[in-house]
Amino acid sequence: MKPVLIGVDGGADALLEMGLKPDIIIGDMDSVSDSCLKCGAEIIVHAYTNGKAPGLPRVKSLGIEPHVCAIPGTSEDLALLLAYEKGAELIVAVGTHSHLIDFLDKGRKGMSSTFLVRLKVGNRLVDAKGVSKLYRAHPSVKYVGILALAALVVIATVFALSPTMQERAQLVLDNMRAQFWQLYTKARPWTWGR
């Protein structure tokens, strides 16, 4: 998979700190660093529905010509809607609002739009905490069997091609026969007289 990395405001800096370059940076540009804005990502400035974009002068002062998108709601909403409308099959959200407390307890304006956006993109949206549950770390029995068979083939090839290994294997077999014979004769001493 080749994901498109969308950083929302300061989230773009978090991507850079992890060694990942954002493909798109969306936001009102109040918490993203200048160096991040200059990383080569496509910049989308979130504007109010009246067309006013407070972050636009800052971005233009850096010599960057951004796209401006006016929608009601938060920059997070814009990022989710953009991914959805551009046909993303799976949207993995990291650090977004994801549960009832986020929607009700924050006391922020605009949280109702976030709830509605999540309803719209819900069939494609997965929280990063849930992605780890999609992948099982336990190998299947089939793959363990194939691995064991491959190991046996390698061992058999080494024995077949190495005279030293054949001699050692013969010594081990001779030693096992001798020990078995000793055990057998101790267990049945009366058979010698007959």
Distance CA 87, CA 83 (A): 7
- The pTM of this model reads 0.63
pLDDT of residue 93: 85
**Average pLDDT score, the chain:** 83
Q: With both helix axes pointing from N to C terminus, report the angle between 141-161 and 163-187 in degrees, rounded to the nearest 10.
A: 100
Cα–Cα distances (Å) from 51 to 48, 67, 68, in that order, read: 5, 12, 9
Centre a 10 Å sphere on the Cβ of residue 79 and count the other Cβ atoms it contains. 25
| pLDDT higher than 80, residue 186 | no
- Each domain of the chain, given as residue ranges in start order, spans 6-131, 141-193
Average of per-residue pLDDT across 109-115: 69
